[in-house]
Amino acid sequence: MKIFLKSLKKNLNKLENCIFCQIIKGSIPAKKIFEDEDILAFDDIAPKAPVHFLVIPKKHLSTVSDMQEEDQKLFGKMIFKAQDLAKKKD
């Protein structure tokens, strides 16, 4: 879950400057490992561990503070997808 929390810690306020939105749009290349209508998972560009990937929501959320109650399901999905992908990569 370190992976998931790292992405949330980034304080990226402006949508146009958001690296994750640019990765989702494809303007910044990433080695995608999973994608659906809600989330995207990709390998970290500078891995700090043998298995190091990020799972991000396609909906722009700068910080944990921006999360709404309606995002509960989305974040639950991200956590379980991260767990699933980590198992497959082990």
Least distance between Zn ion and beta carbon 86 (Å): 23
**Do the Cβ atoms of 40 and 34 come closer than 8 Å?**
yes
Q: Identify which of residues 60 and 77 has a Cβ nearer to Zn ion in the complex.
A: 60
Q: Identify which of residues 15 and 89 has a Cβ nearer to Zn ion in the complex.
A: 15
Least distance between Zn ion and beta carbon 50 (Å): 28
**CA separation, residue 90 to residues 28, 82, 84, 86 (Å):** 27, 12, 10, 6
Q: Contact positions toward Zn ion, by CB under 5 A?
A: 18, 20-21, 60
